[in-house]
């Protein structure tokens, strides 16, 4: 019984591989499809798929259709390395996009460097990724440091923040976010009264919020994704927390507003993308995304979309699907996406695109401030 | 200061009640069937997801939905026992553990395939408006959940103590051979017990899904916490499970409140290790290990 | 006895041949994974097969080995692997002694859950003790073993395969000697009938502890190898995915045999890679496989082989 199942699986695998032997250019995509951030990884994949679909409908790149080969990195370094090895060695992709979590991306970076295949990350926000001197790694995302620098002043002024409590999910992204924002806000005179962390999957925040409430902060900074963030924000309201809430994470999404309900009202979020950004590229993107998936895109969907477009543009410019030529072509990127224009600086960090501060009003992200991500760190 | 302490204690008692309800099914299954059900958390998860389907997709109101979910899950539990668990029943503790681990992995990932990774909400019949009990804040929906939990616990207790089925369960628990000799259909009893345990887990899943969210991937954590509660209270000990749940809830709350929020989950495990060190059968276990 | 010894030696030779002749880095990577899992599963198998208990928290020792190498081998400290790997194994063994003292007095589900509790505590410590373990960010850049730079043919993955073969050989040797020693036979007697064993003077606790510590040592070895190869260690080394894989390997391969873990490691690693095509189904299928094995083939592949080919396994003591 087991043997037949395995044989069937292998057969199906071979058949699918044979079917894909048609003339295509492959792009490898590594995202977490399982695990605690699978929800966000999927959004990235969806955005990537839209970009590929759009481009293929226009005739593809260099006359060939683009084929997206997707692997599950589970946001874990070991699995990501496996995925990268497989994509490079077995599928022979000339370029990679991934791997979502900064720690997984770091692992993928060393694989990319070893095999000399360019890797583009549209999500990983840990500031030092582009400081490691890896010539094959490009980042089209904002860093925690950048967001903090861009918006700390506005937040402190607009929200009149004197005492701030920080809450974050206990992983490298949450800790990084809190560390960057707190140092910026402290430099502007804000006092950090609490820094508390919670694990992925926590459902009850009452104890943590009781502590926060007791320290009477003017503002509460939150680094959490939709899943945890929506419950957190709801409970903040339940427990009677009066402070102003602001944070980073995929908050400008319909899902978040839906889950959090009225508790989402008035929250400020610093995000590199909101579906209300007023650009023609964005309007088109939002419409297509909505048609394909029945919901509005959030920052991860946009990240995937942008990353794939940047890669496809580079392949076009390179003239062939050769990793080294694509790498050189990437350095010349001048891409206009839903949230601004993207160019890479000498350290292969993207700049020139928008970062927006939104306030959730009646479930919609209303843009209250805009900053452009600058070229130097 | 005292207000803060009181708030922590109340938070802990609220969580504790939920822990108790969710662990009740596990302790019953262990007490009667000597089976450590590692898929317990997944039953909880299914309760939550089915609750979402019922209230959100099928637009049932909460109570109708709850009845439907309980019925479906009880049937599911019954079938699982009759066709799956029965095969490993007399083979010692290990096959049961491994079987339920495999079941847990299967259920979690099938659920992920079917409903996706997004969190879902179960519509509660009351709002989450705050209620003030002196200096302590609690919400309407939590009070509601506690009421339902208490009702479920009391209901389960009455079922076991006062009904014919319950008596048959307790007889089988004491001595399966003697029970079958007096005409009790032990196979049926085992299936009913498993069904009851499953239904209780699903109830707490749906209930808590209305306060927090229902997500396909939380099974593992729930199982772990339930195990902690059951060990604290003694496997098979009904009252112990309740007490264990409350103790865990308050302990976690006080640790998180006064020490560190990030390590709260460690409290339960540390307690388990300490208790098993001094009392190898759990805090309140009344059952001696038979040879 | 002979069959198992030949099987294991044959496996090591095959691995060495593959290591020499395979060109694809991806396949060498798979081979390395097989070796890591073979060592880890062998260690779990010692406890499952020869103590008769199921330590769901066995991954704790794997993680301890990995973190020891990570903390001592990271750029700041920079100890060479000739030191860190043995140290890691000893640290794991020390914890094996500590955890064994507490848990081996318990049986059945209590043992299962309390070992799990230990693994979870370690995971939470790894996540929160940021100054020691860098928390969720993990420790990166674990030094490449200097010994692998000595010869040109040891470059890259081949070197790691060679290292793995050495460590696996060590593991099989230790396991083999343990099982066929009087300590091993005592443990089997205990597993088969606890009370009779005690009546002839075998102290269950002492023998269980011995096997437990050796198993912890070997698991630590696997963790150290893993850390050196991946060069990145995070709290996920204490996580459930490794536990689940270990369980499947031991079950599928056949518990209580020495060749079972190897067969299982090969099968499961290959399955994991091939099931990549069915990403969403992959884990569901794993769950079904576990259940199927438990229900229909509780002794796994090697158990079936032993059943069918009795003559190969005839020996004085049966384990």
Pair of tokens at residue B260? 């560190």
Contact between chains at C230 and A103 (C-beta distance less than 8 A): no
* Interface A-B: count of C-beta contacts within 8 A: 82
Question: What DSSP state is assigned to residue A263?
Answer: G
Predicted pLDDT of residue B289: 42
In sequence order, which ranges of chain B are alpha helices (DSSP H)?
2-33, 40-52, 62-83, 93-115, 140-162, 164-174, 176-181, 186-211, 219-233, 238-258, 264-278
Half-sphere exposure of A218 (CA within 13 A, CB side): 13
Q: How many domains does chain B have?
A: 1
Q: Between B88, B97, B103, which is nearest C112 by CB?
A: B97
pLDDT in tens, C197-248: 778 877 778 888 888 999 999 999 999 999 988 878 888 889 887 888 888 8
Who has greater pLDDT, B162 or C142?
B162
Rounded-to-integer distance, Cα B90 and Cα B98, Å: 14
Rounded-to-integer distance, Cα A283 and Cα A291, Å: 12
Predicted pLDDT of residue C197: 77
Contacts within 8 Å (CB) and 24+ apart, C71-78:
C71/C132, C71/C133, C71/C139, C73/C142, C73/C143, C73/C227, C73/C228, C74/C139, C74/C140, C74/C141, C74/C142, C74/C143, C75/C141, C75/C143, C78/C143
Burial class of residue B162 in the structure, from the number of CB atoms within 10 Å of its CB (0-12 exposed, 13-18 middle, 19+ buried): exposed
Contact between chains at A210 and B118 (C-beta distance less than 8 A): no
Rounded-to-integer distance, Cα B249 and Cα B16, Å: 4
Q: Tokens 């979020």 belong to which residue?
A: A269
**Across residues B138-151, what is the average pLDDT?**
88
Who has greater pLDDT, B276 or A284?
A284
Give the residue on A whose Cα is nearest the Cα of C240. Answer: A35
Q: Between B88, B98, B231, which is nearest C247 by CB?
A: B98
Half-sphere exposure of B220 (CA within 13 A, CB side): 20
Q: Between A39, A198, A207, which is nearest B8 by CB?
A: A207
Q: Tokens 């083979």 belong to which residue?
A: B91
Predicted pLDDT of residue A6: 53
Rounded-to-integer distance, Cα C247 and Cα B104, Å: 13
In this predicted structure, the answer to whether residue B8 has a pLDDT above a threshold of 70 is yes
Interface test with C, best of A2, A8, A13, A133 (most C CBs within 10 A): A2
Show residues of chain A in contact with B215, CB under 8 Å.
227
Contact between chains at A78 and C275 (C-beta distance less than 8 A): no
Return residue ranges of chain A for CATH 3.40.50.2300. Answer: 2-142+278-344, 145-271+359-372
Q: pLDDT grade, residue C316 (50/70/90)? A: very low
| Smallest Cα distance from A192 to chain C, Å | 20
Q: Would B228 be classed as within a structural domain?
A: yes
Predicted pLDDT of residue A214: 86
A145-271+359-372 to CATH, choices 3.20.20.140, 3.40.50.10950, 3.40.50.2300, 3.40.50.11810: 3.40.50.2300
Q: Would B285 be classed as within a structural domain?
A: no
Predicted pLDDT of residue C278: 66
Contact between chains at C29 and A82 (C-beta distance less than 8 A): yes
Rounded-to-integer distance, Cα C145 and Cα C159, Å: 9
Mean residue pLDDT across chain B: 86
Q: Tokens 């302790």 belong to which residue?
A: B27
C68: three-class secondary structure by DSSP? helix
| Smallest Cα distance from A55 to chain B, Å | 27
Kindly give the pairing relationship between strand A219-223 and strand A244-248.
parallel
Predicted pLDDT of residue A305: 93
B45: three-class secondary structure by DSSP? helix
Show residues of chain A in contact with B213, CB under 8 Å.
203, 227, 230-231, 259
| Smallest Cα distance from B182 to chain A, Å | 41
Longest dimension (CA), chain B: 61
* Reported ipTM: 0.84
- The percent of residues in chain A predicted with pLDDT above 70, rounded, is 93
Show residues of chain B in contact with A201, CB under 8 Å.
217-218, 221
Whichever domain contains B181, its CATH number is 1.10.3470
- Asked if the C-beta of B229 comes within 8 angstroms of chain C's C-beta atoms, the answer is no
In this predicted structure, the answer to whether residue B290 has a pLDDT above a threshold of 50 is no
Contact between chains at C232 and A106 (C-beta distance less than 8 A): yes
Predicted pLDDT of residue B288: 45
Q: Between B117, B257, B262, which is nearest A211 by CB?
A: B257
Half-sphere exposure of B290 (CA within 13 A, CB side): 6
Contact between chains at B269 and C127 (C-beta distance less than 8 A): no
B-contacting residues of A 195-254, CB under 8 Å?
Answer: 196-199, 201, 203-204, 206-208, 210-211, 214, 226-227, 230-231, 234, 237-240
| Smallest Cα distance from A44 to chain C, Å | 16
Pair of tokens at residue A295? 């919901």
B-contacting residues of A 288-347, CB under 8 Å?
Answer: none
pLDDT in tens, C140-152: 777 777 777 777 7
Show residues of chain A in contact with B221, CB under 8 Å.
201
A-contacting residues of C 267-286, CB under 8 Å?
Answer: 271, 273-280, 283, 285
In sequence order, which ranges of B212-261 are alpha helices (DSSP H)?
219-233, 238-258
Q: Between C26, C231, C283, which is nearest A85 by CB?
A: C26
Domain range A2-142+278-344, CATH class: alpha beta
- Walking along chain A (377 residues) 10 residues at a time, the average pLDDT comes out as 51 49 82 82 92 90 90 83 86 89 85 89 84 88 82 82 89 86 88 87 84 89 86 85 84 78 84 86 90 88 92 90 89 88 88 85 83 70
**Cα three-residue angle A53-A59-A60, rounded to 5 degrees:** 60
Mean residue pLDDT across chain C: 84
Mean residue pLDDT across chain A: 84
Phi and psi at residue C282, in whole multiples of 5°?
Answer: -50, -55
Contact between chains at A207 and B215 (C-beta distance less than 8 A): no
* Interface A-C: count of C-beta contacts within 8 A: 85
- Asked if the C-beta of B113 comes within 8 angstroms of chain C's C-beta atoms, the answer is yes
Exposed e or buried b for every residue in A316-331, given b needs 16+ CB within 10 A?
Answer: ebbeebebebbbebbe
Q: What is the CA radius of gyration of chain C?
A: 19
Q: Prior bond to A99 cis, omega within 30?
A: yes
**Across residues B111-123, what is the average pLDDT?**
84
In this predicted structure, the answer to whether residue C311 has a pLDDT above a threshold of 90 is no
Name the interface residues of A facing C (CB cutoff 8 Å): 1-2, 5-6, 9-10, 12-13, 16, 33-34, 70-72, 74, 76-78, 81-82, 85-86, 88-90, 102-103, 106-107, 110, 115, 170-172, 175, 197, 199
pLDDT in tens, C175-192: 888 888 877 777 777 777
What angle, 0 to 180 degrees and rounded to 10, lies between the N-to-C axes of helices A38-57 and A280-293? Answer: 110
Predicted pLDDT of residue A1: 43
Phi and psi at residue A341, in whole multiples of 5°?
Answer: -100, 150
Pair of tokens at residue B47? 């309760």
Strand-by-strand arrangement of the A96-97 sheet: A65-72, A24-31, A96-97, A119-121, A137-139
| Smallest Cα distance from A266 to chain C, Å | 31
End-to-end CA distance of chain B: 52
Q: Between A204, A227, A234, which is nearest B128 by CB?
A: A234
In this predicted structure, the answer to whether residue B190 has a pLDDT above a threshold of 60 is yes
Give every CB contact of residue A45 below 8 A, 6+ residues apart in sequence: A29, A31, A33, A70, A304
Predicted pLDDT of residue C64: 95
pLDDT in tens, A279-327: 888 899 999 999 998 888 888 999 999 999 999 999 988 888 889 999 9
Q: Between C121, C251, C294, which is nearest B266 by CB?
A: C121
Predicted pLDDT of residue B170: 83
In sequence order, which ranges of chain A are alpha helices (DSSP H)?
2-19, 38-57, 77-85, 102-115, 144-158, 172-187, 206-214, 226-238, 254-260, 280-293, 299-318, 323-331
- The percent of residues in chain A predicted with pLDDT above 90, rounded, is 18
* Containing structural domain, residue B33: 2-278
In this predicted structure, the answer to whether residue C14 has a pLDDT above a threshold of 60 is yes
**Across residues B190-204, what is the average pLDDT?**
92
Counting as contact any 3 or more CB pairs under 8 A, the partners of C are A, B
| Smallest Cα distance from A12 to chain C, Å | 9
Give which of B198, B204, B195, B190 is closest to B153, Cα–Cα. Answer: B204
Residues B73 and B50: beta-carbon distance below 8 Å: yes
Rounded-to-integer distance, Cα C231 and Cα C74, Å: 9
| Smallest Cα distance from C230 to chain A, Å | 6
Counting as contact any 3 or more CB pairs under 8 A, the partners of A are B, C
**Domains of chain C and CATH, by start:** 2-313 (1.10.3470)
Name the interface residues of C facing B (CB cutoff 8 Å): 54, 56, 102-103, 105-110, 112-114, 116-118, 120-121, 124-125, 127-128, 195, 240, 244, 247, 251, 280-284, 286-291, 293-295, 298
- Asked if the C-beta of A262 comes within 8 angstroms of chain B's C-beta atoms, the answer is no
Rounded-to-integer distance, Cα A303 and Cα A99, Å: 12
Residues A118 and A49: beta-carbon distance below 8 Å: no
Q: Between B84, B109, B276, which is nearest C110 by CB?
A: B276
Residues A359 and A268: beta-carbon distance below 8 Å: yes
> From start to end of chain C, where are the E strands?
139-140, 232-233
Least confident of A224-238, A289-303, B185-199, B275-289: B275-289
Q: Between A199, A204, A227, which is nearest B215 by CB?
A: A227
- The percent of residues in chain C predicted with pLDDT above 70, rounded, is 95
Pair of tokens at residue B211? 């306060």
Q: Between B91, B266, B289, which is nearest C124 by CB?
A: B266
Predicted pLDDT of residue A45: 93
């Amino acid at each position: 019984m087991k043997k037949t199942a395995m044989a069937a699986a292998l057969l199906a695998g071979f058949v699918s591989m044979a079917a894909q032997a048609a003339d295509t250019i492959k792009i490898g995509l590594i995202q977490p499809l399982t695990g605690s951030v699978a929800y966000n990884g999927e959004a990235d994949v969806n955005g990537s798929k839209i970009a590929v679909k759009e481009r293929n409908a226009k005739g593809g790149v260099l006359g060939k259709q683009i084929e997206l080969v997707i692997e599950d990195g589970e946001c874990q370094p070991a699995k990501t390395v496996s995925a990268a090895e497989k994509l490079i060695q077995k599928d022979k992709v000339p370029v990679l996009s991934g791997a979502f979590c900064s720690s997984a991306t770091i692992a993928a970076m060393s694989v990319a460097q070893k095999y000399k295949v360019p890797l583009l990350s549209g999500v990983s926000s840990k500031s030092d990724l582009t400081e490691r001197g890896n010539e094959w790694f490009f980042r089209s995302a904002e860093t925690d440091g950048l967001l903090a620098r861009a918006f700390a002043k506005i937040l402190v002024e607009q929200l009149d923040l004197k005492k701030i409590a920080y809450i974050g999910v206990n992983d490298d992204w949450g800790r990084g976010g809190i560390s960057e924002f707190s140092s910026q806000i402290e430099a502007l005179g804000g006092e950090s009264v609490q820094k508390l962390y919670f694990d992925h999957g926590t459902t009850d925040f009452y104890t943590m919020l009781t502590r926060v409430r007791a320290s009477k902060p003017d503002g509460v900074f939150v680094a959490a994704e939709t899943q945890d963030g929506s419950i957190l924000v709801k409970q903040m309201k339940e427990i009677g927390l009066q402070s102003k809430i602001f944070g980073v994470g995929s908050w400008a999404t319909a899902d978040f507003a839906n889950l959090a309900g009225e508790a989402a009202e008035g929250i400020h979020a610093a995000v590199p993308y909101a579906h209300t950004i007023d650009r023609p590229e964005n309007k088109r993107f939002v419409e297509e995304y909505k048609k394909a998936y029945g919901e509005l895109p959030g920052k991860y969907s946009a990240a995937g979309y942008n990353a794939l477009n940047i890669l496809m543009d580079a392949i076009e410019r390179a003239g062939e699907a050769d990793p080294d030529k694509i790498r050189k072509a990437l350095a010349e990127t001048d891409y206009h996406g839903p949230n601004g224009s993207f160019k890479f600086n000498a350290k292969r960090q993207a700049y020139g695109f928008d970062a927006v501060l939104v306030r959730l009003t009646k479930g919609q992200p209303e843009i209250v401030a805009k900053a452009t991500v600058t070229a130097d760190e | 200061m005292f207000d803060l302490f009181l708030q922590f204690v109340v938070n802990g008692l609220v969580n504790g009640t939920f822990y108790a309800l969710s662990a009740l099914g596990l302790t019953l299954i262990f007490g009667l069937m000597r089976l450590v059900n590692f898929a317990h958390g997944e039953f909880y998860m299914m309760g939550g997801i089915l609750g979402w389907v019922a209230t959100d997709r099928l637009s049932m109101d909460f109570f109708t939905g709850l009845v439907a979910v309980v019925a479906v899950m009880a049937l599911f539990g019954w079938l699982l026992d009759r066709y799956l668990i029965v095969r490993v029943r007399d083979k010692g503790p290990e096959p049961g553990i491994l079987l339920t681990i495999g079941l847990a992995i299967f259920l979690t990932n099938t659920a992920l395939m079917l409903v996706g990774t997004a969190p879902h909400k179960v519509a509660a019949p009351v709002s989450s408006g705050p209620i003030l009990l002196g200096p302590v804040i609690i919400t309407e929906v939590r009070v509601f959940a506690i009421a339902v939990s208490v009702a479920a616990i009391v209901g389960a207790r009455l079922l076991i103590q006062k009904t014919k089925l319950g008596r048959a369960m307790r007889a089988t628990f004491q001595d399966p051979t003697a029970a079958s000799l007096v005409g009790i259909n032990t196979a049926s009893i085992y299936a009913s017990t498993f069904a009851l345990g499953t239904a209780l887990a699903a109830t707490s899943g749906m209930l808590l899904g209305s306060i927090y969210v229902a997500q396909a991937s939380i099974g593992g954590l729930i199982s772990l916490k339930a195990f902690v509660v059951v060990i604290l209270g003694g496997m098979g000990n009904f009252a112990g499970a309740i007490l264990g749940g409350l103790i865990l809830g308050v302990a976690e709350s006080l640790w998180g409140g006064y020490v560190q929020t990030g390590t709260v989950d460690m409290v339960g495990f540390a307690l388990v290790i300490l208790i098993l060190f001094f009392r190898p059968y759990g805090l309140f276990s009344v059952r001696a290990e038979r040879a | 006895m002979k069959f198992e010894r030949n099987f294991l030696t044959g496996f090591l030779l095959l691995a060495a041949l593959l290591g020499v002749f395979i060109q694809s880095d991806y396949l060498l990577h798979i081979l390395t994974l097989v070796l890591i899992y073979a060592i880890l599963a062998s260690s779990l198998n010692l406890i499952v097969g020869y103590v008769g208990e199921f330590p769901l928290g066995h991954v704790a020792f794997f993680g301890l080995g990995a973190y020891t190498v990570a903390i001592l081998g990271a750029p700041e400290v920079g100890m060479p692997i000739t030191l860190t790997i043995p140290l890691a194994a000893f640290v794991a063994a020390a914890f094996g002694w500590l955890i064994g003292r507490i848990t081996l007095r318990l049986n059945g589900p209590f043992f299962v859950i309390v070992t799990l509790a230990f693994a979870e505590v370690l995971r939470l410590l790894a996540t929160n003790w940021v100054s020691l373990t860098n928390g969720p960010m993990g420790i990166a850049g674990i030094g490449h073993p200097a010994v692998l730079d000595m010869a040109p043919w040891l470059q890259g993955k081949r070197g790691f395969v060679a290292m793995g073969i050495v460590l696996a050989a060590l593991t099989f040797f230790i396991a083999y000697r343990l099982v066929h020693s009087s300590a091993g036979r005592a443990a089997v007697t205990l597993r088969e009938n606890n009370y009779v064993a005690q009546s002839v003077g075998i102290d269950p606790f002492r023998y269980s502890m011995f096997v437990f510590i050796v198993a912890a040592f070997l698991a630590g070895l696997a963790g150290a190898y893993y850390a050196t190869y991946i060069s990145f260690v995070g709290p996920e080394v204490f996580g459930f995915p490794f536990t689940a894989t270990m369980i499947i390997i031991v079950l599928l391969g056949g518990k209580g045999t020495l060749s079972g873990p190897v067969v299982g490691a090969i099968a499961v690693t290959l399955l994991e890679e091939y099931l990549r095509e069915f990403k969403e189904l992959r884990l569901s299928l794993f769950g079904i496989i576990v259940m199927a094995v438990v229900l229909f083939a509780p002794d796994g592949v090697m158990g079936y082989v032993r059943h069918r080919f009795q003559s190969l396994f005839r020996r004085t003591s049966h384990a």
